[in-house]
Amino acid sequence: MRPWQHVLDPLGGYLLLLERMWDRKNGFDQAWNFGPPVHDAKPVRWIVERMMELWGDKASMQLDTSEQPHEAGMLSLDCSKARTALGWTPRLGLDKPWSGRFEWYKAFQRGDDMRGLTGDQIDRYQNLNIG
8 A C-beta contact, residue 128 and residue 92: yes
**Phi and psi (nearest 5°) for 122?**
-65, -45
| Percent of residues in the chain assigned helix, strand, coil, to nearest 5 | 50, 5, 50
**Is the whole-model pTM more than 0.85?**
no
8 A C-beta contact, residue 66 and residue 105: no
Query: How does pLDDT run along the chain (131 residues), one tens digit per residue?
Result: 888 888 899 999 999 999 998 877 778 888 999 998 888 888 888 888 888 887 877 888 888 889 988 888 888 889 999 999 999 998 887 767 665 677 888 899 899 999 999 999 899 888 886 64
Rounded-to-integer distance, Cα 128 and Cα 131, Å:
9
Domain 2-126 has CATH 3.40.1380.10: no
Report which residue type is found at 5.
Answer: Q
Domain boundaries, the chain: 2-126
* Other Cβ atoms within 10 Å of 92 Cβ, number: 20
